[in-house]
Amino acid sequence: TKLPGSFGDFVKWNFTKFLVDRNGQPYKRFAPKDRPLSFEEDIKTLLAQKPTEE
**27 or 10: which leads in pLDDT:** 27
Q: Residue 6: which pLDDT band, with cuts at 50, 70 and 90?
A: low
Give strand ranges (E) for 1-54.
Answer: 17-20, 26-30
Residue 7, pLDDT > 70, answer no
Global pTM? Answer: 0.67
Write the pLDDT tens digit of every residue in 14-45.
Answer: 889 999 999 999 999 999 999 999 999 999 99
Cβ neighbours of residue 49 closer than 8 Å, sequence gap 6 or more: 21, 22
Q: Residue 2: which pLDDT band, with cuts at 50, 70 and 90?
A: low
Q: Is 33 left (phi over 0), alpha (psi -120 to 50) or beta?
A: alpha
